[in-house]
Structures are given as structure tokens and as C-alpha cells.
Amino acid sequence: MLSTKIIGLCITALATAQVHAVDDADPGVRVQIPEIQLLAVNDRNLAREGRFQLVTSYPPQYEWPTYLPAAQPGPVGAGEGGASSSRQPDEREVSSQPGRVLSDPSLPVGKVLFSMQSYPLDMHELQKFYHDDDFEPVRFEETYGTDRFLTTGLIYRPYPPVLHAIQGSIWPVLQGRGLKQEDVSPDYTLKHGEYLWPPFREGPEGLVLHPNLPRYLRRRISRRLLEHSKDTSKLYHMGVNVDGKTRHVLILTSRSQDLFDERVHLPQSEVLLLYETAKVNGETSAKFAFLGASILPIGAKDMLVESGVATVVSLVKRALRR
């Protein structure tokens, strides 16, 4: 009986010593808990199936749309009223937690899609996207050959003089037709004609675009090019004067439910995406440069065409080279 108690005390002491050894040990040296035990049940199953690698904890995952859903019935912009989005991204990706821009705390950082907010065009955080890049504008129609735009890639270039020139060309026409620059909706302070705040993240050297945005915006051009014809206009050209030279802007439309994180109801508006092409930093081939996105009253695009400020692009429909 005594020997049994002694054995029991020894076992207890040994167990206590092991616990203290674990508490005092450096992580991963004395005791290693299998990482699979640190995951939630569903994640363990995924790890066992080899569907993802074990990594440290990250913020929640988000989805990014990579193609244009089928068009909804009705004129451009009219489909904004309630058609649900059918975005089905082809990849998963980790997003940073939302933050704020230092010079303007009202502007979010960390979103996946555009925000229903405008921004100061000359804000210093965006100057790096257009300063010292040896930008040589090219008329985008001149890059068209072999049934496609012979361009490579896409950059973001929110150059304020071009953005101001676009507004200066649009609003005299619209105001002459009785349209005023008003809020796009009672739910937002954003006004028609202002430029939408893109999805940014915080990088080591300031703001960086969401990594999928260039490909996504380029696919927009590709899809509209496929849909474009003499009878169904999807691509438009606008020439604007900047520093005494004409800059050639490509305009296409998009549905609001494809561009925003939140559900946006804009039955009386249409979203315009604005681009130009250029050779950058001495490269031999041209790139598309995304200028920005803006919301105008529905029918504004047609008014611009009727007035001659914008013209329908005359191209054979084909897809962009990837």
C-alpha cells in the first residue's frame, strides 16, 4: 500500500515537472504542438486535403471579380436598379484590414472594390503614380492592329490635368442640356462627375492598388471590345486639351454592382471608366493607363456623343491580347 502511494506521488511530481518544463521552454524547442491542432475544424480538413498551406493568421479573405457578368435587360445604367451581381472570381486572395488615408481620414484603405467617395485630385499620396514616369501619350486607336489592341498591361495614372480636362469637356455640354452636378444619391455625398476612390492598400512606400485591379480593368476593355459593333456602341473616344496637346481618352460603361464593395442603387446614373494609352519609361509597346471612374446622370454619354464631344470608336470586335 505504501509503495503504491509512493509510485503515485512520483508520477504526479513527474507530470508537474513536465508541465513546468513546457511553460518555461522556448516555443517550438522543448514541445511542438502539431500545427494541424491549431486550426479550426474546417481548416484542418482543408489542410489534410492539401488545398492550402499552413500559414500564420491572416485577416479575412475577400473575393475579387475577374469577368463581366452577362448584361441585364434595359439601357446602360437602367440595370443599376436592382439586378443582383453574378460576380464569380476565379481566385481567392487575402485582403488587409480597412484603414484610413493619412492626409484624408475619410478615405478608406483596404477595400477590394471602389468606394462611393471622391478624393482631392492633387493629394500627395497619389503623385507617385504619375511623377517621373516618362509618359508618352499615344492615340489608342493607333495601337489597334490584327483585330486587337496591341498593348501590354495596364497602369494606374490619375493625372490631375487630364482628369480636370475631362470634367471641363463634359459639364458645359450637360449643363447646356439642363443637367446640374448634384449628389448621385441621397445616401451619398458623392456628386456626378467626381472621381471614385479606388481600392488601395498600405505598402512599404505608401498606397498601392489592389493587386488584381489592373487585370480586372483591362478585362473590362476586352469585354466591351467583344461587344462593340456599329449597331451596339460600347467604346467611345473623347479628345481633351492638356497643355496645348490633345489627349485621347477611351470611355466605356460599367454597372455599379460590379465596382463597389457595398450594394449601390443608382437607377438614374451610369458609371464611366476612363483610360488612355501611352509608352511609359521608354518601352516600345504602349500600355493602357487607367485614369479613373466617374458617375454621370443616365443619358449623359449619349448627350456627349450627340454634341460631338465624344465619338463612337470604329473598331472590329476582338479581345485584348493578354
**Per-residue model confidence as pLDDT tens digits over 97-145:** 456 677 888 999 999 999 999 999 999 999 999 987 889 998 888 887 7
Least confident of 10-24, 44-58, 110-124: 44-58
Q: Do the beta carbons of residue 234 and residue 261 sit within 8 Å?
A: no
| Res. 167 pLDDT band, cuts 50 70 90 | very high
Does the residue 269 lie in any domain? yes
pLDDT of residue 242: 95
Asked whether residue 150 carries a pLDDT value surpassing 70, the answer given is yes
pLDDT of residue 27: 40
pLDDT of residue 250: 94
User: 138 and 231 share a domain?
Assistant: yes
Tell me which DSSP letter residue 195 carries.
B
User: 75 and 135 share a domain?
Assistant: yes
Asked whether residue 23 carries a pLDDT value surpassing 60, the answer given is no
User: 280 and 164 share a domain?
Assistant: yes
Q: Do the beta carbons of residue 274 and residue 153 sit within 8 Å?
A: no
SS3 state of residue 233: coil
User: 280 and 140 share a domain?
Assistant: yes
Q: What is the mean pLDDT of residues 192-201?
A: 96
What's the rounded Cα separation, in Å, for the pair 259 and 227?
Answer: 19
State the residue range of the domain holding 160.
62-312
What's the rounded Cα separation, in Å, for the pair 272 and 270?
Answer: 7
Amino acid occupying residue 177:
R
What's the rounded Cα separation, in Å, for the pair 228 and 317?
Answer: 6
Does the residue 321 lie in any domain? no
User: 31 and 126 share a domain?
Assistant: no
Look at the chain and report how many structural domains it folds into: 2
Burial (CB < 10 A; 0-12, 13-18, 19+), residue 203, is exposed
Burial (CB < 10 A; 0-12, 13-18, 19+), residue 14, is exposed
| Res. 146 pLDDT band, cuts 50 70 90 | low
User: 31 and 70 share a domain?
Assistant: no
- Most confident range, picked from 31-45, 82-96, 239-253: 239-253
User: 17 and 113 share a domain?
Assistant: no
User: 41 and 66 share a domain?
Assistant: no
Instruction: Please give the grid coordinates belonging to residue 181.
Output: 452636378
User: 94 and 145 share a domain?
Assistant: yes
Mean residue pLDDT across the chain: 74
User: 117 and 218 share a domain?
Assistant: yes
Does the residue 322 lie in any domain? no
What's the rounded Cα separation, in Å, for the pair 307 and 99?
Answer: 43
What φ, ψ does residue 292 adopt, rounded to 5°?
160, 175
User: 86 and 23 share a domain?
Assistant: no
Residue scoring higher pLDDT (182 or 267): 182
What's the rounded Cα separation, in Å, for the pair 159 and 274?
Answer: 12
